[in-house]
Chain A
Amino acid sequence: MDITGQEERFRRMFAEEAEGRLATLSELLLALETTTGDPELLAAVFREAHTLKGAAAVVGFADVLQVAHALEEVLEGLRRGDRTATAALVDSLLGAVDGIREMIPAVLEGDDRADHAERLVVSLQTPPPDPAPADPTPPDHASPDPTPPDPTPPDPTPPNSTPVAAAGAGIRGIGETIRLPVERLDELVRLVGEAVAASLRLGRLVTERLGVEPASVPELHELSRVLGDLQQRTLRARMIPFATIAEPLRRATRDLARTLGKTVELELRGQETELDRGVLEQVADPLLHLVRNAIDHGIEPPDERVLLDKPPTGSIMVRALQLGSEVVVTVADDGRGIDLERVRERAREAGDGLEGAGDGDAIYAIFRSGLSTAPEVSEVSGRGVGLDVVRTSLASVRGRVEVRSEPGAGTEFRLSVPITLAVLPCLVVEAAGRRYGIPMHSVVSGEAAGWTGDYVEGQAVIRVRDQVLPVASLAWTLGTGDEAAVNGGPAVVVASLTRRHAFQVDALLGQRDVVLKDLGRLLPRLDLLAGASVEPDGSILLVLDASGLVNQARWIRPGVRGAVESSPAQPASPASTGQPSLLVVDDTAVVRELERSILELAGYQVRTAGDGQEALAMLADAPADLVITDVDMPWCDGFELTRAIRAEPRLAGLPVVILTSKADDADRRRGLEAGADAYVVKGDFDQQALLEIVGRLLGTLTTARAGDRR
């Protein structure tokens, strides 16, 4: 390597090392603010700044060196006792740390950041007087502060360093950790997986050729044990502690609370809980949003809290806990709770009516895109995008979010995510001589053989505790078995996003961790398939997708309507059977099934959806001749659905019947204004009336469908 190349390598090494050092500095400075005068802590902060300065000098980063030197000067003053670590001074120091962090990539690219460095030095040398009086009085916003805290907290995903757990805790030595690109680790995991598979193949070969059990050969037994251990450890190497994303919340909390004139204590628990890096990345943003929301919307200002007989300092607890193959992260605050009336009001303004929804359901409207309860948009919140991000980020890693809130007492969000995406715990089943994996997160239960099934409207059903669920043969559903009928064999109950369905199998073979393999990009996306894995005997285990499975089973119901007898694996277009195709949308299963049975008896082909969003997705997949929808449903209600249908040119002519318990004239008008063709109140509901309306609309459909309805 030539000299220039070596220099470049050192500069990049410095940049990488500085990332970790600056993260440590931030944490120590935050601790400094609350632990006044701890000499050990002060020494640790000083040491970090000094080392940073020395390294910057070695690689010739003059601008960084200049700021680090000024930082060191201030810290030296603190160490000597000439100054005290006021909030304003810590602001300046943190500002300098952030400034260095921003400067390094630019300097690395050869940019001159002398002006920036100069400003940071001036700011450090002339820190403002601390305007914040003692708790509980909020800080004075009007006070000048040359380095106001950035209301946008720093990136919650810090560098891959081991965070310092507490003030003054052991500072990480350079020799204790190494950095490496994640791809290398992923490659290692893949290769170890291949080695394990190869050793299993070897064992099988030994059995076939020599007639010897591999476990009885000490060398093979040892190889298998070591490889198993190695696989566990390499998988573990991809895991990083929850602290990696939780620790930066301290800074975010401090800065935002200070900006808003609130005092908030953040308590972090379960920091050592480990999660896959990919999962943790997707949790970081939701977590930051929830903490910011708690500070902005939840925690009251100190004077208000005192009046409410609460301690002036608000409390937020973020806790991670491993439960089986999931990690549950809770964010709980002791603030004012979610104002449900306001949620309903905002939903009404957005035309999303929650009037019929109970509190438990209505609260989930806060996750809708664009719905915010903040009175006005600020830099902190109020645009209604935060909680939408929470929901979508979690969904991308097979996670989910729940919320509970009590007026005046606080709010708790509960995020559940899988520990890792690299290994998928699956229930392995056998159907028509083939084995399949079903992801455990979508398995509700396994049912032993011997159950007695019933038929409701031609659909086989199974009783599972207090529920009656449709049941189908798994092999038939997948198109690999000839026998559509079920006969009480073992069954597995799976849950898709909106419904549960049971599948009869030949055997339930047990739970196993499955390492999904990359299938390349050539293969089209198959709704029934979540992935595939190689078995020890070299065969391929297909891992099924629960949602795809449930949808497929519903398409090919044997025995009634236009089931696709000849090709069960191919979803049929409902329109292809010649019968009018109806889509019934209602979030209440019993209403949905009642409507379905009435309409099917009248000869219609019926699909059902649990809410407006699902209905739109189903209409995108296959058309319908008429939609019957409820109004009050989670995520996308009947009015919203009707408007969406009218807005979509391909669907604009589709007749829509609203069938609801909302009898007000105002609601009726809203429904018709949204574009519904008929508005039927459930209280007046009789099946003959419904069939007449459907018949009339479908009758007019044949003559008027080509016309523009709008």
Chain B
Amino acid sequence: MRSVLLLVGRDWFALPMAAFQEVVAAPVVTALPAAPPTVRGLFNVRGQIIPLLDTGVLLGLGPLPGCSFAAVVQSRYGPAGLATTGAPEPAELAWRVGPAHGKGTVAAYAAGERIAVLLDPMVLLAPADVAAES
């Protein structure tokens, strides 16, 4: 399966290519007052305002220290940016190597030299979870 690998802290996650839109390097983020920890702020992609989500908080790994890149994803509730700690890489998921238990995850896959957990953007990007306080 064609996918984009996202580095989140020390973990690699795979985003299906169909949900992926583009990568924005070093996004300029406008912080939102009183926003939940999942929302790092808003950024501008060619005139469109997109919320930037802390992928670490969303996946239960804790907040990311910074955001070098944002992977823009199309969700059914509109576009969203997923903060990553490294440049996203295109990859082909080879075979399933094990289960994954986190919210919005499908299973762990071999992707070249790496092991990446495949994400299900439909489940991961649900408004109720984005709004969660922790």
Q: Which of A193, A520, A540, A569 contacts B33 (CB 8 A)?
A: A569
Q: Which residue of B lies closest to A434 (CB)?
A: B30
Knowing A532-B49, A534-B44, the reply to whether A522 touches B32 (Cβ < 8 A) is no
Which residue of A522, A528, A570 contacts B75 across the interface (Cβ within 8 Å)?
A522
**CB <8 Å contact, A478 and B33:** yes
Bound-state Cα–Cα, A197 to B79, Å: 20
List B55-98 residues whose CB lies under 8 Å from chain A: 75, 77-80
Q: Which residues of B contact A434 (CB under 8 A)?
A: 30
Q: Does B16 contact A (CB under 8 A)?
A: no
- Contacts A480-B33, A517-B48, A534-B49 given: A524-B42 contact, CB under 8 Å? no
A126 at the interface (CB under 8 A from B): no
Query: Do A539 and B28 have beta carbons less than 8 Å apart?
Result: yes
Known: A542-B33, A569-B33. 19 other contacts (CB 8 A): A434-B30, A479-B33, A517-B49, A518-B78, A520-B50, A521-B78, A522-B77, A522-B125, A522-B127, A523-B39, A523-B130, A524-B39, A526-B32, A540-B30, A540-B43, A542-B42, A552-B33, A569-B34, A570-B34
Q: Which residue of B lies closest to A549 (CB)?
A: B33
Contact of B34 with A532 in the complex, beta carbons under 8 Å: no
Write the chain A residue with the least CB distance to B51.
A523
Q: With both chains docked as a complex, state the minimum distance between the C-beta of B30 and any C-beta of chain A, in angstroms.
A: 4
- Whether a CB of chain A sits under 8 angstroms from the CB of B1 is no
How many angstroms between the C-alpha atoms of A478 and B105 in the bound complex? Answer: 35
A520, B32: Cβ atoms closer than 8 Å: no
Does residue B131 face the partner (Cβ distance < 8 Å to A)?
yes
Instruction: Determine whether B36 belongs to the interface, using a CB cutoff of 8 Å to chain A.
Output: yes
Contacts of A198 in B (CB 8 A): 47
Complex contact A519–B51 (CB within 8 A):
yes
A684 within 8 A of B: no
Q: Are A520 and B79 in contact (CB under 8 A)?
A: yes
Indicate whether A538 reaches chain B with its CB closer than 8 angstroms: yes
Q: Which residues of B contact A519 (CB under 8 A)?
A: 42, 49, 51, 78
Known: A517-B49, A520-B51, A532-B49. A539 touches B44 (CB 8 A): yes
Within 8 A of B (CB), among A320-354: none
Cα distance A88–B30 in the bound complex, in angstroms: 66
Could you name 30 residue pairs across A and B whose Cβ atoms are closer than 8 Å?
Answer: A194-B46, A197-B47, A434-B30, A478-B34, A479-B34, A480-B31, A480-B33, A518-B49, A519-B42, A519-B51, A519-B78, A520-B51, A521-B127, A522-B77, A522-B125, A522-B127, A523-B39, A524-B127, A524-B130, A526-B33, A528-B33, A528-B34, A529-B32, A532-B49, A539-B44, A540-B42, A540-B49, A542-B42, A569-B35, A571-B34
Those of A673-702 within 8 Å (CB) of chain B: none
In the complex, A527 has a CB within 8 A of chain B: yes
Interface centre among A193, A523, A527, A539 (most CB of B within 10 A): A523
Chain B residues whose CB sits within 8 angstroms of the CB of A552 once the complex forms: 33-34
A480: chain B residues within 8 A (beta carbon): 31, 33
Is A526 in contact with B34, judged by CB distance below 8 angstroms? yes
Q: Which residues of A contact B35 (CB under 8 A)?
A: 524, 526, 569
Report the Cα distance A470→B92, complex, angstroms. Answer: 60
Residues of A within 8 A of B30 (CB): 434, 532, 539-540, 542
**A contact residues around B31 at 8 Å (CB):** 480
Chain A residues near B125 (CB-CB < 8 A) = 522
Alpha-carbon gap, A193 to B49, bound state (A): 13
When distances are taken between beta carbons in the complex, the residues of chain B under 8 Å from A520 are 50-51, 77-80
Docked complex Cα distance between A571 and B44 (Å):
28
B14 → A minimal CB distance (Å):
21
Main secondary structure of the interface of A (DSSP, over half): loop
Chain A residues lying within 8 Å of B49, measured Cβ to Cβ, are 517-519, 532, 534, 540
User: Nearest Cβ distance between residue B49 and chain A, in whole angstroms?
Assistant: 5
* Chain A residues near B28 (CB-CB < 8 A): 538-539
- B residues contacting A by CB (< 8 A) are 28, 30-36, 39, 42-44, 46-51, 75, 77-80, 125, 127, 130-131
- How many Å from the CB of B75 to the closest CB on chain A? 6
A518 to B44, CA, bound (A): 12
| Measured CA separation A523–B30 after assembly (Å) | 14
- Nearest CB of chain A from residue B127's CB, rounded to whole Å: 6
Residues of B within 8 A of A527 (CB): 34
Residues of B within 8 A of A534 (CB): 44, 47, 49
6 shortest interchain CB distances as A-B pairs:
A520-B78, A524-B131, A521-B77, A478-B33, A522-B77, A540-B30
Closest to B128 in A: A524
Complex CA–CA separation, A534 to B47 (angstroms):
6
Which A residues between 538 and 554 are near B, CB-CB below 8 angstroms? 538-540, 542, 552
Residues of A within 8 A of B39 (CB): 523-524
**Residues of chain B with a CB closer than 8 A to A539's CB:** 28, 30, 44
A613 to B44, CA, bound (A): 39
Distance to closest chain A CB from B57 (angstroms): 13
With A and B bound together, what is the CA distance between A539 and B78 in angstroms? Answer: 20
CB-based contact B47/A522 at 8 Å:
no
How far, in angstroms, from A479 to B32 measured CA to CA in the complex?
A: 10
Chain A positions within 8 Å of B77 at CB level: 520-522
Hey, which chain B residues are within 8 Å of A569, CB to CB?
A: 33-35
Interface centre among B30, B33, B51 (most CB of A within 10 A): B33
Name the distance in Å between A561's Cβ and chain B's nearest Cβ: 20
Tell me the smallest distance from the CB of A294 to a CB of chain B, in Å.
44
Chain A nearest CB: distance from B21 CB in Å?
Answer: 13
CA distance A552 to B35 in the complex (A): 13
Q: How far is the CA of A520 from the CA of B39 in the complex (A)?
A: 13
The residues in A between 329 and 386 inclusive whose CB is less than 8 angstroms from any CB of B are none
Chain B residue at minimum C-beta to C-beta distance from A569: B34
Point out the residues of chain B lying under 8 angstroms from A194, CB to CB. Answer: 46-47
Closest to B80 in A: A522
Q: Compute how far the CA of A521 lies from the CA of B35 in the bound complex, rounded to whole angstroms.
A: 15
CA A521 – CA B131 in complex, angstroms?
A: 11
Nearest CB in chain A: distance from B64 CB, A? 18
Which residues on A sit within 8 Å (CB–CB) of B34? 478-479, 526-528, 552, 569-571
Q: How far is the CA of A21 from the CA of B100 in the complex (A)?
A: 64
Q: Report B79 CB to chain A, min CB distance, Å.
A: 7
| CB closest chain-B residue, reference A571 | B34
| B75, closest chain A residue (CB) | A522
* Nearest-Cβ distance from residue B73 to partner chain A, whole angstroms: 10
List B contacts of A479 (CB < 8 A): 33-34
A243 to B32, CA, bound (A): 42
A542→B35 CA distance, assembly (Å): 13
Max chain B Cβ within 10 angstroms of own Cβ: one of A479, A524, A526, A538: A524
Q: Say whether A524 contacts B79, CB under 8 Å.
A: no
CA distance A527 to B33 in the complex (A): 9
What's the minimum C-beta distance from A529 to chain B, rounded to whole angstroms? 6
